[in-house]
């Protein structure tokens, strides 16, 4: 057991998917994994281990925001020996040509979080994806015919913002979308020398207000899971 995960040693696979929403973890376990076993219910942050195409894979909810994601990523790596982590999340687009339902691969993540700045007050330490995971996910996305964008995202501490001015300025500097966890996932991976990648489905559009139906959203989530799972087993 670790502080926030009640799994026993060996219950968690060394390859893991990390959705923010614990119910997305359950959805993945029920729809993509064979023989999935629940290993965590502490705080309702569901975690499962099962098999995808014969390979042992886990899926663990991380909650919303960087403090929560950092807790789960750290315990998974330090206490359970996880080596490859892929976040399967959602983001809001801040680019005209990045549409709702597209897939965003976070090559890097800017952040407003103090977590990294507190550790490195004198350095701007870039948060980057593992190159092999990134390359493989891009290849899989293209092979599957999914609209796949690669670039910077913003991992923000604030969901309800008083002003979008800075966010849209980041868009003018090429940032593709905003979400709340990728940067710290990359930071934990760098700290403990493991591999991490963040994939996001665009759930809403901050510039155009573009929306999608629940059914379409579900289909796109499924596309993202295929990219993430195929990447985890091939890389």
Ligand X SMILES: O=P(O)(O)O[C@H]1O[C@H](CO)[C@@H](O)[C@H]1O
Ligand Y SMILES: O=c1cc[nH]c(=O)[nH]1
Q: Is 223 a residue of the active site?
A: no
Could you say whether residue 153 binds ligand Y (CB under 6 A)? no
Rounded-to-integer distance, Cα 34 and Cα 29, Å: 8
Q: Closest CB to ligand X among 20 and 47?
A: 20
- Smallest distance from the beta carbon of 24 to ligand X, in angstroms? 7
Distance of CA 19 to the CA centre of its chain: 6
Could you say whether residue 130 binds ligand X (CB under 6 A)? no
204 binds, among ligand X, ligand Y, none (CB under 5 to 8 A by kind): ligand Y
Residues 44-83 interacting with ligand X (rule: CB under 6 A): 64
Residues 43 and 25 sit within 8 Å (Cβ to Cβ): no
79 binds, among ligand X, ligand Y, none (CB under 5 to 8 A by kind): none
- Smallest distance from the beta carbon of 181 to ligand X, in angstroms? 5
Q: How far is CA 230 from CA 7, 24, 32, 120, 205, in A?
A: 25, 18, 11, 35, 27
Catalytic residue, candidates 124, 204, 222, 223: 204
What's the token pair of residue 45?
A: 């942050």
Judged by CB under 6 A, the number of residues near ligand Y is 9
Contact segment (CB under 6 A) with ligand X among 111-119, 143-151, 174-182, 183-191 equals 174-182
Which residue intervals of 51-162 are DSSP H helices? 66-80, 114-119, 131-143
Could you say whether residue 90 binds ligand Y (CB under 6 A)? yes
| Listed residue (14, 10, 49, 44) closest to 33, CA to CA | 49
Residues with a catalytic annotation lie at: 204
């Amino acid at each position: 057991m670790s502080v926030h995960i009640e799994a026993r040693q060996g219950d968690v696979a060394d390859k893991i998917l990390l959705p923010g929403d614990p119910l997305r973890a359950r959805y993945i376990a029920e729809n993509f994994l064979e023989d999935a076993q629940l290993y965590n219910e502490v705080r309702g942050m569901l975690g499962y281990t099962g098999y995808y195409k014969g390979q042992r894979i886990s899926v663990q909810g991380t909650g919303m925001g960087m403090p929560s994601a950092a807790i789960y990523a750290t315990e998974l790596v330090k206490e359970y020996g996880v080596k490859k982590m892929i976040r399967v999340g959602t983001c809001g687009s801040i680019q005209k040509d990045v549409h709702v339902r597209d897939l965003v691969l976070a090559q890097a993540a800017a952040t407003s979080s103090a977590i990294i700045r507190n550790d490195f007050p004198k350095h701007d330490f870039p948060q980057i994806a593992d190159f092999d995971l990134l390359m493989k996910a891009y290849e899989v996305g293209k092979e599957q015919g999914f609209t796949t964008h690669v670039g910077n995202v913003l991992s923000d501490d604030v969901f309800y913002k008083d002003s979008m001015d800075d966010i849209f300025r980041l868009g003018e500097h090429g940032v593709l979308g905003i979400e709340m966890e990728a940067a710290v996932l990359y930071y934990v991976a760098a700290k403990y020398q493991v591999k991490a990648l963040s994939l996001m489905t665009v759930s809403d559009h901050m510039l155009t207000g573009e929306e999608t139906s629940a059914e379409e959203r579900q289909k796109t989530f499924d596309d993202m899971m295929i990219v993430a799972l195929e990447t985890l087993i091939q890389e």
